[in-house]
Amino acid sequence: MSNTQSPVPPATPTGSTSSTTSTQPQVSSKPTTTEPLPPLTGFRAALEHTGLPRGLLTWKPRPPSRNWSIFFTVLGTISYLYYDDRKQCRELKKEYLQRVEKFGKEKCEGSLDIPRKVKVFGAKWPEDEDEDRALRYFRKYVKPYLVAAAIDYEQIPSPLYGSITRQAHADINRIRRQNLHLDPPPPLISVPSVLDPEAVRRKDLEGGIVLVGRPSLKEYMEGLRRGWNGDLSPWIWEKEVEKKLNSDGIFDQPSIPPEILDTDSNENYTNDEIFNIPNPDIPSVPKHIGSDARPDSKSSSGGLSFLRPNSSSLFRSNTQTDNIISNHLQKQLETLPPQPPLLLVPFMNRKGFLQIPWMVYDFFTERHHVRTGGEAAMKLIFSHTREFQGPSPAFSSSTSFTMTEGESKNGYSTEGENGHTNQGEHQKSDLDFDQNVEKFYKKSFDELPKRMQKARDDYYPGLKHRLQLTRGEVEPTKDEANSKIVSESELREERKKKELRWMGNEEGYEIVRKETPVAWDEKWRGWLKIYDDPEKES
Amino acid sequence: MSRRRSFKPGETLIRLDRDGANIDPAKMEIATAELDMITDVFNRLVTSCHAKCIAPGNSTRYAEGELLKGEAVCIDRCTAKFFAVNKLVSERMQTMGGTAQVTGSFGR
């Protein structure tokens, strides 16, 4: 029992082990035994004989050591930042979903009711091999709200720089030609769910165009400019490139006669088609633009012979007349038809080693992305539109719509030859959308034309050699004879594919790089619309 | 006087058309098989899109008798995807069938 043990001297702290007491100068009368332990009190006394170790019963909590404190602080901070950020993301998402759920729960007017549909463009970010980043951003941060609000979306892939430009250009070209009856309208299928063209146009206007990121805006505006200011001849990019390639002479042989310029179709073409464009007989050509899959045969409908790459030179001789006619038509008939409103979604893609701190910051602040995406989706869903603000009129009168080189600070290139203080009177222009992302473009993007040229320089010598092999001008080595034999048309195809990629990228580079301002035309003032919140209007 | 029989699916029968001449039984077979296939695809499509869009998570709660807009959009997308997958799989099967003919087995 505790009575038999003598008390521990007060100098030694309580709870010290018997080993420490034995090192201190012996005060007690028993030099060989350990110091008696302090008696246990309270419930510990009751538990003393249960077999629990004494150390457990006399345990007192201690603050952690300095190192552990540091570790727990750091770990706790980081975990809490992550947890809190994701919690806020969830709450934000829930809040936005609640705001729009009611749109999704409306009843359909019939089982063939066509929902509102938007087109989503997400351009390839400079120097990013993955061209899907912008669309992925859209899918993660904007799409859930569109799904809840029963709005359908169509994501249009853009594998190269400038893809959006070319797609927009092709669409506008087609629409213009159809409006002016230069081309037959698409055939109507009489199935209940297919709408007539008028309804399709209305649905398009109700829908909208979503542009994710500043490169998308640049490409799209450039596409608009090319489409509406370009000439009315049918424009299919692949055909244009093929024309250029065929006149390149790489595949020319002295033995092959010059490309088949049929004299019959030439005559058909020159006299009738160009000068009778308003003639309603012309649209009765049965072939539709996209179906000219017979490049080498004589086209029986002579009106479309200019589509064949072979008659490109002939077509060029008539562009003057064509331009006269087209300008005449433009002035008479063409007003800019209403466009579906745009939605601009700010997007930044972090690329590069030096942006890793920014990436870490983004990892911990995903709520900002959720908020941006949610706000953009709300603007689209509640469909409040305002006019697209172009650059201030004082600036634009000096530069019209040519793309200017040189630093453009705010979408106004500072070529203030007029001596106007543009800065003084600048209003917020929508062309400046998300301008700050451009300073984050990788420097290697500027070397893109050089890289394309280098790829060409690497490819063409090999191509020449392979062409000679195919034509039998050169004897194949044993390896070449064993390997797969390619025909000349395959080589042409391969070259065409590669050139499409290189030329597309170069074209897009010119559009997207930071020195190029966003395309704008004075005629567009008051034409385009943009989705925005109602409160922001002044 | 009309004969009444119960027709089981897939049962071939020779019937007289309007002119009284016999219809080729082989063509009837093909037509019946095709109809069966279409019906099967349709049933699968309806089941799977219903499970995904109208009753997500197999809940049987129908809040509204009418089709809602969100559900309509979901069904549009579901059917589009179904047919796209169908097409891809049948193309794949064709190529596999082709190689199976050559190599003599369905293997990788």
pLDDT digits (tens, 9 = 90+) for A190-223: 777 777 778 888 888 888 999 999 999 999 999 9
Question: What SS3 class is residue A153?
Answer: strand
- Backbone Cα Rg of chain A: 37
Q: Which residues of B touch A (CB under 8 A)?
A: 64, 66-70, 72-74, 76-77
What CATH number does residue B37 fall under? 1.10.287.810
Rounded average pLDDT over A268-279: 39
What residues of B are in contact with residue A151 (Cβ under 8 Å)? 73
Q: Do both A283 and A371 map to the same domain? A: no
Domain assignment present for residue A409? The answer is no
Q: Which residues of A touch B (CB under 8 A)?
A: 103-108, 111, 113, 115, 147-152
The residue to which tokens 């951003």 are assigned: A137
Contact A105 B64 (CB under 8 A): yes
pLDDT value of position A201 = 86
Max mean pLDDT among A32-46, A123-137, A224-238, A425-439 falls in: A123-137
Rounded average pLDDT over A478-484: 75
What residues of B are in contact with residue A115 (Cβ under 8 Å)? 69, 72-73, 76
Lowest pLDDT segment from A27-41, A252-266, A369-383, A486-500: A252-266
- In angstroms, the separation between the Cα of residue A114 and the nearest Cα of chain B is 8
What residues of B are in contact with residue A381 (Cβ under 8 Å)? none
Domain assignment present for residue B91? The answer is yes
Q: Do both A497 and A356 map to the same domain? A: no
- In angstroms, the separation between the Cα of residue A232 and the nearest Cα of chain B is 35
Q: How far is CA B11 from CA A201, A525, B7, B17, B24, in A?
A: 49, 69, 7, 17, 15
A25 CB neighbour count, 10 Å cutoff? 6
Pairing relationship of beta strands A208-212 and A152-156 according to DSSP bridges: unpaired
| Total domains present in chain A | 4
- What is the rounded CA–CA span in Å between residue A86 and residue A66? 30
Q: Do both A305 and A285 map to the same domain? A: yes
Of A104, A107, A115, the CB nearest to B66: A107
Pairing relationship of beta strands A529-531 and A385-387 according to DSSP bridges: antiparallel
B74 CB neighbour count, 10 Å cutoff? 20
Show which of A328, A347, A368 is a domain's final residue. Answer: A328
Lowest pLDDT segment from A87-96, A482-491, A495-504: A482-491
A377 pLDDT exceeds 80?
yes
Show which of A328, A357, A374 is a domain's final residue. Answer: A328
Can you spell out the DSSP letters for A326-377? HHHHHHHH--PPP-PPEEEE------SGGGHHHHHHHHH-HHHHHHHHHHHH
- What is the rounded CA–CA span in Å between residue A304 and residue A265? 9
Of A115, A147, A149, the CB nearest to B72: A115
Backbone angle region of A441, left / alpha / beta, with phi > 0 → left and psi within -120 to 50 → alpha:
beta
**Binning pLDDT at 50, 70 and 90, where does residue A124 land?**
very high
- In angstroms, the separation between the Cα of residue A116 and the nearest Cα of chain B is 9
A343 pLDDT exceeds 90?
yes
Lowest pLDDT segment from A220-234, B7-21, B52-66: B7-21
A303 pLDDT exceeds 90?
no
At A123, the amino acid letter reads A
**Binning pLDDT at 50, 70 and 90, where does residue A414 land?**
very low
**Binning pLDDT at 50, 70 and 90, where does residue B36 land?**
very high
Pairing relationship of beta strands A208-212 and A342-345 according to DSSP bridges: parallel
Please name which of A207, A189, A186 lies closest in space to residue A114, comparing C-alpha atoms. Answer: A207
| Encoded tokens for A470 | 């195919």
Q: Which domain holds residue A153?
A: 81-106+114-186+193-232+338-394+419-441+514-538
Per the DSSP assignment, residues forming a β-bridge with A208 are: A118
Per the DSSP assignment, residues forming a β-bridge with A344 are: A211
pLDDT value of position B24 = 87
Contact A104 B72 (CB under 8 A): no
Contact B68 A113 (CB under 8 A): no
Given strand A117-122, what is the order of strands in its sheet?
A152-156, A117-122, A208-212, A342-345, A529-531, A385-387
- In angstroms, the separation between the Cα of residue B17 and the nearest Cα of chain A is 29
Domain assignment present for residue A399? The answer is no
Contact A108 B73 (CB under 8 A): no
Show which of A294, A328, A362 is a domain's final residue. Answer: A328
- What lies within 8 Å, CB to CB, of A209 at 6+ separation is A118, A119, A121, A220, A339, A340, A341, A342, A343
Interface size A-B, in CB pairs within 8 Å, comes to 42
Domain assignment present for residue B80? The answer is yes
Q: Do both A157 and A225 map to the same domain? A: yes
For chain A, the average pLDDT equals 77
What residues of B are in contact with residue A104 (Cβ under 8 Å)? 68-70
Contact B70 A147 (CB under 8 A): yes
